[in-house]
Structure 1
Amino acid sequence: MTTQNTSLGIWLMVLTTLIFSAQDGLSRHLSEATNVYMVTMVRYWFLAAFVISLAARQPGGLRAAARTSRPVMQIFRGTLLVLEICVMVTGFVHLGLVESHAVFACYPLLIAAFSGPVLGEKVGWRRWTAIGVGFLGILVILQPSGGVFSPLAAIPLLAALMFALYGLQTRKVASSDSAATSFFWTGVSGVVVATGIGMWFWTPMSLGDWGLMGLLCLLGASGHFTLIKCYEVAEASAVQPFAYLQLVFASILGIVAFDEVLRPNVALGTAIIVCAGVFTLIRARRQARS
């Protein structure tokens, strides 16, 4: 049995968000240089190799990791995540890291909102109020009179919806499959879908960009590794609020590396969404304990 160490888990989550933020910045650069689908495909080649090598080292090997009672749902999860990554990186290219992450930050609220009809969980009036406040934050970001409000704002919003459904499906299969099995199917089914799409969009890259692609793949594997270790040493509910730091790190990277601008309405709306999201996570944790 793994000893619980919440402090270590928090630091691992902070490191994970930093790694994934760097990955987002590289994904944006490489997608602008080539295209989203090719970048996603190559990322998944490396991820699948990482997942398979990790599974082979576990007790029972690949056969144990692949054993699932819900293969259709596992394949659906893997497919959904690939498509979500494509949509989100498209948002990076067209909206930038700051505004894409600001809108995407609503995904925990979407998970809370859909956990009732999808998982049969009880969502009380306090969490529904927080969900409503969070969506007011989205309106502040979108600013109907101008600012981010445009058809392009639907891109990260769609990505948030897809990632929320992915999260709900992950929680659903967790009742019968281990985390190792879900991770295995995420990589294996995902690489099939990513390759099926990306092979039609192959674009030559410079030697320098191939080097950055290699770094991107290493960051992806490192981020998944630190995230796995994070959940091994601490409860997910205790460290999940710190996942919002990815929004902070990605925004800093967008401003420094890509000359993006943090609009006042985006900062205010994001603060509202994060506060509402953290509140729903705390309420869910308290309800689980009671």
Structure 2
Amino acid sequence: MTGPALDSVQEHRQRLIGIGLMCGAVATFACLDAIGKYLGTRMDVLQVVAVRYASAFVLTLLISNPIVRPGLLRTAKPLLQIGRSALLLGSTFFNFMAFRYLQLDEALAILFSTPFMVAILAGPMLGEWVGWRRWIAIGVGFAGVMVVIRPGFGGLHWAAMLSGASAVCYAFYGITTRMLARYDSSQTTLFYSNLFGTAIMLPVLPFVWTPPRSVLDGVLMVAMGAFGAFGHYLLIVAHRHAPASVLSPFMYTQLIWATTFGYLVFANVPNHWTLTGAAIVIGSGLYLLHRERRTHGTVAPNEPR
């Protein structure tokens, strides 16, 4: 196998690797969100956000730092790095605030409008145009989210607006992550994310700090940073293997983890609407994976699908 056929097979393999990394990332984020929701009931949300970044920064610094990686701080797009880091910080803050008032599955179901926004933005901003089949699959997945939150049926809590703001930040974060994947290393991008969040939040920490109530709280504060750093590293690497429009629908799988943790940790029993919506979301993601595996080898690399 040579020429275009070999290139197509290799690109197909890269996309599947990216999808696998994306699924691993969102599973890790579900752990981070569950810890963030728990700690948010025991301390100020600003403290939770600050500790999340500070612990992630320290942990990653032990493994990847300018001493062992001399070119770590070198970036071709410094302003884009700052903008991406600010978007992630905003998404994290809005998300953790929403967790104080909403169940995990409710907050994340709203956040899952992100793939729809990414699909709209990826064309004009990245040149990654989405074909009609993927539009339909994304639309079906979004409909599953609507089944979960049921707008207009009993009304939404005002905190849903916080989840909406988090979704907007996260959509642009996904786009800028893909942009930076063309210029900077994964380690550089992760380093700047943690550095920016730590630099912004540490000055705030003395004004909101309260000591952990238990050893478990202290352990979870560190673990939150570890999950955050590892999850975002997987996300950054995933965007090196596949376009944002291919990866973003698979964040829907986080709904499964969110529902599971919500039940096990917070005794939030999902209702039949949540289960029905989750089934639709999962079905949409499986169809996208099926299309990726079946058609990529026979479609020209730049042809929308």
TM-score band (shorter)?
0.7 to 0.9
Moved more, 188-197 or 86-95: 188-197
- Equivalent residues of 2:50, 2:197 under 8 A apart: no
Residue among 37, 52, 57 paired with 1:43: 52
Q: Give the counterpart of 1:126 among 133, 140, 165.
A: 133
Letter matched to residue 159 of structure 1: S
In the alignment, what sits opposite 1:179? 186
Q: Deviations over 1:34-84 (max 9, x none)?
A: 0211011111111112333333378642xx111112111101111111111
C-alpha contact 2:66 2:73 (8 A) present in aligned 1: no
* Residue in 2 that maps onto 1:56: 65
Contact 1:104 1:156 survives alignment (8 Å): yes
Does 1:23 pair with 2:32? yes
Q: Note the alpha carbon deviations across 1:157-194, whole angstroms, 9 max, x for none.
A: 32122111101011112222222221121111121122
Matches within 5 A, 1:59-78: 60-61=69-70, 64-78=71-85
Determine the C-alpha separation between the residues in 2 that align with 1:220 and 1:67. 23
Say yes or no: does 1:89 pair with 2:123: no
Deviates more, 1:151-160 or 1:14-23: 14-23
TM-score by length of 2: 0.76
Q: 2:147 maps to which residue?
A: 140
Cα 1:198–1:84 change in 2 (3 A) is: farther
Q: Is the 8 A contact 2:72 2:187 kept in 1?
A: yes
> Which of the numbers 190, 194, 198 marks the counterpart of 2:197?
190
1:167 aligns with: 174
Cα 1:280–1:107 change in 2 (3 A) is farther
What's the counterpart of residue 256 of structure 1? 264
**Equivalent residue for 1:108, pick from 112, 115, 136:** 115
Contact 1:47–1:217 (Cα < 8 Å) also in 2: yes
**2:163 counterpart residue number:** 156
In structure 2, relative to structure 1, the CA distance for the partners of 1:12 and 1:77 (3 Å cut) is closer
Superposed counterparts of 1:163-242, under 5 Å: 163-208=170-215, 209-223=217-231, 227=234, 231=238, 235-236=241-242
How far is the alpha carbon of 1:279 from its aligned partner? 4.9
Whole-Å Cα distance in 2 between the matches of residues 216 and 200 of structure 1?
A: 21
In the alignment, the residues of structure 2 paired with residue 230 and residue 71 of structure 1 have an alpha-carbon distance, to the nearest angstrom, of 19
Indicate the structure with greater helix content: 1
Does the 8 Å CA contact 1:68/1:181 hold for their aligned counterparts?
A: yes
Helix, strand or coil at the partner of 1:69? coil
Q: Deviations for 1:122-171, whole angstroms, at most 9, x for unmatched residues? A: 23333333343344333322323435633322222321221111010111
**Corresponding residue for residue 255 of structure 2:** 247
- How far the C-alpha of 1:101 sits from its partner, in A, is 2.0
Within 2, Cα distance between the matches of 1:113 and 1:229? 20
**Residues 117 and 275 of structure 1: is their aligned pair in 2 closer, same or farther, counting only changes over 3 Å?**
farther
Q: How much does 1:19 deviate?
A: 3.9
TM-score (norm 1): 0.80
Identity of aligned residues (%): 32
Consecutive unaligned residues of structure 1, counting only runs of 5 or more, are none
Once the two structures are superposed, residues 65-122 of structure 1 have per-residue CA deviations (whole angstroms, 9 ceiling, x without a partner) of 1111211110111111111111111222211112112222332222112112322332
* d(CA) in 2 for partners of 1:107, 1:168: 11
Count of residues in Structure 1 that have an aligned counterpart in Structure 2: 283
- C-alpha spacing 1:278/1:154, structure 2 compared with 1 (3 Å): farther
Shift of 1:267: 2.6
Question: 1:23, 1:203 → 2: CA distance?
Answer: 20
Q: Describe the shift of the 1:30–1:231 C-alpha distance in structure 2 as closer, same or farther (beyond 3 A).
A: same
Partner Cα distance (1:15, 1:116) in 2:
25
CA RMSD of aligned residues (A): 3.6
